[in-house]
Amino acid sequence: MKLIINTDGLSKGNPGTAAIGAIIKDEHGKVLAKISQCIGTTTNNIAEYQALIAALQKALKIGTKQVEIRSDSELMVRQLNGRYKIKSVGLRLLYLEVVQLLGQFQGVAIKHIPRELNTEADHLANQALK
């Protein structure tokens, strides 16, 4: 079974009050899990990584070997795909955590999607701040 994971992180103020959102579906579109959580004060980029970490941890608990990750964070996707270097120490630590989690799956695809195709995860992140 392959899971489709959409993630989003946001920060009001950057740094500011931050939240994460994620939705995990099976390959037929059935929702298996939702994440909507306030994570305190941090930057938008850190929130993006934390959303992905929370979603990957949940996917492992669901029990799958393949994941397709979709995010509107061009920076995170390009860093994870090796196209951008990671200059921030804080992001490097989160990147390493993501790599460790991804290593537990047999198949991984990481895709950048336009923001308008990530509305469910965005809604969940915004909902956490209300």
Say which CATH class 2-128 falls into: alpha beta
- Rounded to whole angstroms, the Cα distance separating 130 from 128 reads 6
Mean pLDDT, residues 62-79: 97
* 130 pLDDT above the threshold of 90: no
What burial class does residue 31 get, using C-beta atoms within 10 Å of its C-beta: 0-12 exposed, 13-18 middle, 19+ buried?
Answer: exposed
Q: What are the residue ranges spanned by the domains of the chain?
A: 2-128
pLDDT at site 127: 98
pTM for the model: 0.97
Q: What share of the chain is helix, strand, coil (3-state, %, to 5)?
A: 40, 35, 25
With bands split at pLDDT 50, 70 and 90, how would you rate the model's confidence at 123?
A: very high
- Average pLDDT of the residues of the chain: 97
Tokens of 62: 């669901």
Whether the predicted pLDDT of 55 surpasses 90: yes
